Structure 1
Amino acid sequence: MRKVLLPTIIFVATILLVMRLFYLQVIDDTLKLKSDNNAIKIKYDYPERGYIYDRYGKLLVANQPSYDIMVIPKDIKDLDTIEFCRLLKITREEFLTKVAKAKVYSPRLPSVFLAQLNKKEYAAFQEMQRKFNGFYIQKRSLRDYQVSFGANVFGFITQVNDKIIEKNKYYNSGDLIGRQGVEESYEEILRGIKGVKYIQKDKYNREIGSYKEGKFDTIAVQGKDINLSIDAELQKYGEELMINKRGGIVAIEPKTGEILALVTAPSFDPAILVGRQRSRNYTMLYHDSIAKPLYDRGLLAEYTPGSPFKILTGLVALQEGVIDENTSFSCHHGFSYAPGRFMKCHCHGGEMQLHRGIYESCNTYFSSSYMRTINKYNNPPKGVDVWSNHLKSFGLGQFMGYDLPTGRKGSIPTSKTYKKMYPGWGWSSKTIVSNAIGQGEVLMTPIQLANMIAAVANRGYYYTPHIIKKIKGQPIDKRFRTKHFTTVDKKYFEPMISGLFDVYNLGTAHGLNVEGIEICGKTGTAENYAKINGKRVKLQDHSIFVAFAPKDNPKIAIAVFVENGYWGARWAGPITSLMIEKYIKRKITRKDLEKRMLEGSLEAEYNKYYPKPIIDTLIKQKLDTPVKPEIKKEDAKPKVTPTN
């Protein structure tokens, strides 16, 4: 029996192995397609990317044809290099470098030799293509921008690199992929699905027809169209108002969380990142470390929020029961919170209750309220954590989960923060009282500020901000249709909103009102420091404003941040009023404010320490003209390192 068992096992195993080999080599043809097969050539058919529209159906981003010259190094034969280089206007050294790079990728597979030819270049090459063995044209689609704004919203498309190819097998050398903005967030929806054709070749490397009569060929599927929540006219207007300024504007529809405008300044025309000059233009934008046009200030810039934070200080104090509407604090244009220490106040002084404290932005009132909140538990660490948890329920101190690929958490301190800052020392509410007025260790991004005021407008809830409104053929993500409730009861929002309404009527935004629209808002001024030549220097304050309108049926909530803008009502306040009127009325009646904002400039303020940004040159030059920034001796400035 033992003598028979071993030969039987060997025989059966051999039969199974032969059958498997027969199946793989004769019956299953897919293995041939996956292998590096000399007899089969793969051709890809690239679909158009999905179109991008605004919330009202206005076309923002379409497509235009592009032509790449592809190379298969092993197929290069009998090539007249001089004629080839003259036709494509490249040097012989460039030719050799590109071919060598293609060989490193694969001598047998196609890779991009020269990308994004225009129609004239394509026609000239196509006429001579028969003479250039190993080279062929691959048609693709590039973006065709219908508008000159929204670059930070859209993002751009660029060629994949080796890391992406290695990580995601969908992509091959020369393929395009979305980067930044919605192009990156919705890449898989916008890109569509490549079509594939397998071409049989004979022993002379000539194409003789479809492999297996097209059995394995697939048809390209165009990318899905999407509608953004952006209001194109509002976005454009916001960017115009922010010309010659730096900062961000974020506008949200409170009832849905849809982002109506996402402005960063300075910005640029998205069209400069399309075509043969894309790489040069992107490099210039990337290396502009002063103006930072690629840096989306609305999502990434973490600022001290200043006086708008008093809204939260008051709401938490109301929720914790340490104040009510009638609680009064005496203000003598300042607030003494420790021996020898004093916090200035710019209000009119006297006895302050909640309503007046809000519209006059009284530091004394909110500092006192904050200390009562922290002291409630006779345990500062516990008091700080209770306060911190209330703030986090507004989406602060964390990534918000919106559908854009970049962002920052901001900072909401906890007891751990202060245990690290003051090890072995008994800190108290007096030590950290600057948090009460949005200074101290508190940091917020403009989108967090906008979401905070949207939650106030809704009397205690918000939806995760998002920039998608509709995807053709499918619903938007469920997380954007889910309500998030704050830990502050609804009843406490009404007295706060009453005070915010009178900010326009009696308070710090008096004179910025718009006839026929009930606006609730809050001005803010944030201190601004930077390192100059290694020293910490105070620069001009930032101008901040948050608002929503109308008061009782809010349609827009907005945060505006203007760097080095002096105080809230000087720059951010007027821009806020104009943006609200533009959205609600679709026209502007406050022509006085509009003229001042459109013609106003903060360049002189920025140029005290920062040289003229490259972005100015890039915008004004023709796209096909090489741009070389010139730095004159008289333009030289001290080295500056921003703190934010």
Structure 2
Amino acid sequence: MNLDGRKYVILVFFILVGSIYLIRLFFMQVVDDSWKLRAQEIAEKRIEITPPRGIVFDRRNKKVVTNRSYYNLMMKQENIRDFDTLEFAKLVGWTKQEVKDRFYQIKKGEGKYRNPNTGKLQDNYQPQRAYPFIKELTIDEITRIAPHLEKFPGFYEDLTSMRSYPFSGGANIFGYLNEVSKEEVDEDRFYRGGDQVGRAGIERFYEKELRGQKGIKYIVTSALNNAIESYAGGKYDTLAEQGPALHLGLDIQLQVYGEKLMQNKRGCIVAIEPKTGEILALVSAPSFDPNILVGRRNIGRNYPKLLLDEGKPLYPRPLAAEYPPGSIFKLLQSLIGLQEGVITPESGFPCTKSMVGCHNHPNATNLPDGIKHSCNPYFYYVMRRIIQQGKKRSVFADAELGLNEWYDYVMSFGLGSQFETDVTGMRSGLIPNSAYYDKWYGHNTWAFSTIRSISIGQGEVKVTPLQMANIAAIIANKGWYYTPHFVRSIGNKGPLPQFKKIHRTKVDAVNFDPIIEGMRRAVYEPGGTAKKAQVEGMTVCGKTGTAQNPHGEDHSVFIAFAPMENPKIAIAVFIENAGFGGVWAAPTASLMMEKYIHRKVKDKAKEQMIVNANLLNIKARPKKKKG
């Protein structure tokens, strides 16, 4: 008996069988895509359950963003049999050609991929997968269609939800949802085709919180691919978890009221709670009802109109518009001058109109009166003392040193940079330093006389309205602030960590008292520029501004806080092409403050004056030098 021969025969046999299996395995996994599709078909038995998005509440616990039920009519091609295109078209209210086109659109929308092994282009579309055939059907629409779907195997209804906004305001705050792109699906495994994702505002910034956690359900199917029972009695299923509720600092009634006041105007209103940094209102005018961007059909119909609107309702003016601050900037010059010791609260300067134009008023014999009168020459004198302190022999080197120290002070007020906040679309504004002017004029070639326009918030200085409101909040707090933000709590966890950090300016608290007194005088004493900002039952501290506009009428600016003794609201109003800040911006701010603190407005005449005013087409008039 030749045992050695048999051993080799057996060995060859096992090698041959192993080789056959390896070759077959390679063919199944690499060459033959039908097995890949079969694996994907098996994976379809793993059903993902998408939860509704998190609800959003305002500071008074009113629902401002909710969900409304809709339905998608789903289609799985491998289950479609004996399809009557004409009858189906009649059922859904389409033409026969529209039904055919929709099948083509779905397949085309999935695109193609290049098989890395064969080099051939192949469809991403998979007949065994479910696709939405008609999206966003209302309950009435699906009620008419669903009873007849048994005639059309492969079609079924699927419950979904879309956003709903109970109030007509806040579109620029909440943002909107739209379908994910194929690239987004590839980047984040949470999403599948047809899912919604936040595209702007809070919906975008808090997308990962609001979308919640998907659930998984495993099912056992029959030979006909019909679900017959849960796999293992649901042992491996997981529940979908709705995203946590977002609780905002926003007061939706104040927001809607602000949008009413700003109708037929261009500009914005920003209101902040000083002690928390929570944004109470963020009005961008013109605005629009957020409900017009709910769902694919509405977006397709309305977004192009908004995009082409000459009023730019999609442009976030409070965040992205960079304006000269005008005379409200005099408050910062006062604070820096006091901290540097170049002026005192009793410092007086003449109203030297040959230096810079100004309106008629008595000479300011102290700092609070300089603020009350908003005297332009007064603050030229103040700024010159800040910049030219005589620390260097060369006037140019002295100006460079002084400006850079001034720059550090201004930056400590949150200007010249973007806040690390939950507001998307922000710009930083502009605060010039010596490097900025060196680029324009060259090194050691400029001094205060070259850059003096920044003394009164003109020239190169640019700020956003959100930054303006934050200046008012800083003064109300006597030198500190929280980063302005919308969300006061994610579920019950509180705000994001960056909104708990206090930021302090370089100015000591004691130096804010004379500035606050000057703001009070501006509103209540004879000769003050902000008399229209008075509110019955509280003390308002405010400052007017008139921001120069080379393209037409100047812009009307006003910042304030109230009450003086216990500030609850800080506000900035900016109305484009409306002229002097005391005429339109100041009374608008007073109505907002009264509405927020008293919850109603007594001065109906003032309210009607602002609501009815149309300031969109003001013709350019000769400019007056006012604060």
- Any conservation in 2 of the 1:334–1:345 contact (CA below 8 Å)? no
Match of residue 535 from structure 2? 514
Partner letter of residue 311 of structure 1? L
User: For 1:209-264, what per-residue CA distance to the aligned partner results, in whole angstroms no more than 9, with x for missing partners?
Assistant: 33444343221112222221111221121111111111111111111111111111
- Any conservation in 2 of the 1:285–1:294 contact (CA below 8 Å)? no
Partner letter of residue 107 of structure 1? Y
After TM superposition, the structure 1 stretch with the greater mean CA deviation from structure 2, 351-360 or 90-99, is 90-99
User: For 1:406-445, what per-residue CA distance to the aligned partner results, in whole angstroms no more than 9, with x for missing partners?
Assistant: 2111111122211222236712111111111111111111
CA drift of 1:491 comes to 1.4
Partner letter of residue 486 of structure 2? I
- Any conservation in 1 of the 2:274–2:476 contact (CA below 8 Å)? yes
CA drift of 1:328 comes to 2.6
Structure 2: how far apart are the matches of 1:260 and 1:486? 23
Q: Return the match for 2:472 from 440, 453, 478.
A: 453
Partner letter of residue 69 of structure 2? P
Structure 2: how far apart are the matches of 1:460 and 1:147? 36
CA drift of 1:41 comes to 3.1
Structure 1: how far apart are the matches of 2:219 and 2:367? 77
Structure 2: how far apart are the matches of 1:35 and 1:257? 53
Match of residue 4 from structure 1? none
Match of residue 239 from structure 2? 219
User: For 1:485-538, what per-residue CA distance to the aligned partner results, in whole angstroms no more than 9, with x for missing partners?
Assistant: 001111111111111110012310124312221111000111123xxxxxxxx3
Q: Does structure 1 residue 545 correspond to structure 2 residue 558?
A: yes
Change (3 A) 1:237 1:518: same
- Any conservation in 2 of the 1:195–1:217 contact (CA below 8 Å)? yes
- Any conservation in 1 of the 2:325–2:463 contact (CA below 8 Å)? yes
Match of residue 257 from structure 1? 277
Q: Return the match for 2:358 from 320, 327, 345.
A: 345
CA drift of 1:454 comes to 0.4
Structure 1: how far apart are the matches of 2:553 and 2:535? 28
Equivalent residues in 2 for 1:296-307, closer than 5 Å: 296-307=316-327
Match of residue 329 from structure 2? 309
CA drift of 1:391 comes to 0.9
Match of residue 590 from structure 2? 577
- Any conservation in 2 of the 1:45–1:220 contact (CA below 8 Å)? yes
- Any conservation in 1 of the 2:533–2:540 contact (CA below 8 Å)? no
- Any conservation in 2 of the 1:330–1:350 contact (CA below 8 Å)? yes
- Any conservation in 2 of the 1:74–1:107 contact (CA below 8 Å)? no
Q: Does structure 1 residue 45 correspond to structure 2 residue 45?
A: no
Change (3 A) 1:351 1:126: closer
Q: Return the match for 1:201 from 217, 221, 229.
A: 221
Structure 2: how far apart are the matches of 1:347 and 1:492? 28
- Any conservation in 2 of the 1:39–1:200 contact (CA below 8 Å)? no
Equivalent residues in 2 for 1:231-380, closer than 5 Å: 231-275=251-295, 277-335=297-355, 343-350=356-363, 352-376=365-389, 377-378=391-392, 379=397, 380=399
- Any conservation in 2 of the 1:73–1:99 contact (CA below 8 Å)? no
Structure 1: how far apart are the matches of 2:489 and 2:38? 37
Q: Return the match for 1:467 from 486, 498, 505.
A: 486
Structure 2: how far apart are the matches of 1:40 and 1:154? 35
Query: What SS is found at the alignment partner of 1:479?
Result: helix
- Any conservation in 2 of the 1:63–1:142 contact (CA below 8 Å)? yes
Match of residue 602 from structure 1? 615
Partner letter of residue 555 of structure 1? K
Q: Return the match for 1:426 from 424, 445, 458.
A: 445
- Any conservation in 1 of the 2:178–2:296 contact (CA below 8 Å)? no
User: For 1:146-165, what per-residue CA distance to the aligned partner results, in whole angstroms no more than 9, with x for missing partners?
Assistant: 21222222222222122321
Structure 1: how far apart are the matches of 2:513 and 2:172? 36
Match of residue 196 from structure 2? 176
Query: What SS is found at the alignment partner of 2:310?
Result: coil
Query: What SS is found at the alignment partner of 2:529?
Result: coil
- Any conservation in 2 of the 1:245–1:265 contact (CA below 8 Å)? yes
Structure 2: how far apart are the matches of 1:240 and 1:155? 19
Match of residue 605 from structure 2? 592
- Any conservation in 1 of the 2:364–2:378 contact (CA below 8 Å)? no
CA drift of 1:197 comes to 2.1
Query: What SS is found at the alignment partner of 1:63?
Result: strand
Match of residue 429 from structure 2? 410
Q: CA RMSD of the aligned region, Å?
A: 2.7
Match of residue 36 from structure 1? 40
Match of residue 522 from structure 2? 503
Query: What SS is found at the alignment partner of 1:264?
Result: strand
Structure 1: how far apart are the matches of 2:82 and 2:434? 74
- Any conservation in 1 of the 2:562–2:570 contact (CA below 8 Å)? yes
After TM superposition, the structure 1 stretch with the greater mean CA deviation from structure 2, 403-412 or 244-253, is 403-412
After TM superposition, the structure 1 stretch with the greater mean CA deviation from structure 2, 419-428 or 393-402, is 419-428
CA drift of 1:351 comes to 5.2
Change (3 A) 1:387 1:347: farther
- Any conservation in 2 of the 1:40–1:199 contact (CA below 8 Å)? no
Change (3 A) 1:515 1:206: closer
Change (3 A) 1:351 1:580: closer
CA drift of 1:301 comes to 1.4
Match of residue 125 from structure 2? 107
- Any conservation in 2 of the 1:453–1:547 contact (CA below 8 Å)? yes
Structure 1: how far apart are the matches of 2:73 and 2:327? 57
Structure 1: how far apart are the matches of 2:107 and 2:487? 42
Query: What SS is found at the alignment partner of 2:68?
Result: strand
- Any conservation in 2 of the 1:110–1:173 contact (CA below 8 Å)? no
Structure 1: how far apart are the matches of 2:233 and 2:329? 69
More strand by share: 1
CA drift of 1:393 comes to 0.7
CA drift of 1:274 comes to 2.2
Structure 2: how far apart are the matches of 1:132 and 1:433? 78
Structure 2: how far apart are the matches of 1:43 and 1:583? 48
Structure 1: how far apart are the matches of 2:536 and 2:307? 45
Match of residue 637 from structure 1? none
CA drift of 1:77 comes to 4.1
Q: Which runs of 5+ in 2 are unaligned?
A: 1-10, 30-34, 111-123, 621-627
Structure 1: how far apart are the matches of 2:438 and 2:134? 58
Partner letter of residue 518 of structure 1? T
Count of aligned pairs: 570
CA drift of 1:116 comes to 0.5
Q: Does structure 1 residue 395 correspond to structure 2 residue 414?
A: yes
Match of residue 28 from structure 1? none
| TM-score, scaled relative to structure 1 | 0.83
Structure 2: how far apart are the matches of 1:75 and 1:384? 75
Match of residue 130 from structure 1? 150
Partner letter of residue 310 of structure 1? K
Change (3 A) 1:415 1:45: same
Match of residue 68 from structure 1? 72
User: For 1:383-411, what per-residue CA distance to the aligned partner results, in whole angstroms no more than 9, with x for missing partners?
Assistant: 22211111111111111112122211111
Structure 2: how far apart are the matches of 1:420 and 1:285? 42
Change (3 A) 1:305 1:97: farther
- Any conservation in 2 of the 1:439–1:526 contact (CA below 8 Å)? yes
Match of residue 565 from structure 1? 578
After TM superposition, the structure 1 stretch with the greater mean CA deviation from structure 2, 380-389 or 477-486, is 380-389
Change (3 A) 1:96 1:286: farther
Query: What SS is found at the alignment partner of 1:539?
Result: coil
Change (3 A) 1:374 1:275: same
| TM-score, scaled relative to structure 2 | 0.85
Partner letter of residue 581 of structure 2? G
% same residue: 43
Query: What SS is found at the alignment partner of 1:197?
Result: strand
Change (3 A) 1:269 1:286: closer
Query: What SS is found at the alignment partner of 1:602?
Result: coil
Partner letter of residue 62 of structure 2? K
